[in-house]
Amino acid sequence: MAFLNSSKPNLLQSLSPLSTLLIKFLIPFLLLQHHIVKSQFSPALANDESIFFGISLFSKEDPNIILLGNASISGGVLRLTNNDQFGQPVTHSVGRAVHLTPIHLWNRHNGDLADFGAAFSFVVNSKGSTLHGDGFAFFLAPADFHFPKNSSGGYLGLFNPDNAFDPFRNQVVAIEFDSFTNEWDPSSPVQVPHIGIDVGSVKSVAAVPWPSELESPSAIAHASLNYNSESKRLSVFVGYPDNRNATVSALVDLRNILPEWIRVGFSASTGELVETHDILSWSFEATL
């Protein structure tokens, strides 16, 4: 992966940390969110090849969200994994949420590929534990994707021990927010959470440290991702209000991995270690 690096001062370097965060995340996020005024639940179609949906508060009454496994909606928040009666996360919990809107990712007649972007805010709460897991992922998968069994722990609800490392068996692309370093994750002398891009495998093709351990357990993070159909680059930015952030990108031709029509959603899991995985808001836009 390549990152812009220049010794000359640029606009972002000259701004305050708060201004930098506004430029990098909040402004793109608000540009997506302005569509929400038109419809809280129903996708807004500009034409047959464009789609937008935005959710500022999750609702049990939303017909476009399907909850699977232990996922639930409470107080306007999408909770991907289970808590017990005392509000503590439980072991070996797996939950997913899928938006039912079909997305035309690419055209099999002319090979055209869609541009898309997404933004979401989330909280992963360790409940004060030094070791916790396992994480969550934003994913793109076939409309009829069958979620595997035995997918708790480091498999994040998307893979299992039988298929986790075989891209030819997995039509799924995911942005993982991985709290626990497994043997297949990027090596590090210490346990470091990371953000990775997974292409048909739980082993990321690109990854960077995720600064979640430097934040309070209940800190709200904001993520935005973009796919450019010309460059085939999938880029992800994650930021916190105190200006700690992370960026990761990878080149991937999604036509080689995913079918023409897909759906998008979130998946999360715990194993022997636990934490919460809560999505607070979500917007998505695609144009073919």
CATH of the domain at 158: 2.60.120.200
Q: Please, which residues have CB within 8 angstroms of residue 259's CB and are 6 or more apart in sequence?
A: 105, 142, 143, 171
Report if residue 153 sits inside a domain: yes
For residue range 113-130, what is the model confidence (pLDDT) as tens digits? 999 999 999 999 999 888
Residue 166 resides in a domain: yes
Domain region containing 108: 14-252+264-287
pLDDT at residue number 243? 87
pLDDT score at 187:
72
Cβ contacts of 159 within 8 Å, gap of 6 or more: 148, 151, 170, 201, 202
Residue 176 is assigned to a structural domain of this protein: yes
- Tell me the two tokens of residue 36: 């929400």
Helix (H) or strand (E) holding 103: strand 103-104
Q: Is the residue at 7 inside a domain?
A: no
> What was the pLDDT predicted at 74?
96
Q: Is residue 1 domain-resident? A: no
The number of domains in the chain is 1
Task: Tell me, yes or no, whether 94 lies in a domain.
Answer: yes
Asked if residue 258 is part of any domain, the answer here is no
Tell me, letter by letter, the H, E, C secondary structure of 163-184: CCCCHHHCCCEEEEEECCCCCC
pLDDT, residue 76, reads: 98
Q: Is residue 6 part of a domain?
A: no
Residue ranges in the chain modelled with pLDDT below 70: 1-48, 188-191
- SS3 category, 86: coil
How many CB atoms within 10 Å of residue 118? 20
Give pLDDT tens digits for 198-218: 999 999 999 999 999 888 889
Note whether 115 and 51 are within 8 A (CB): no
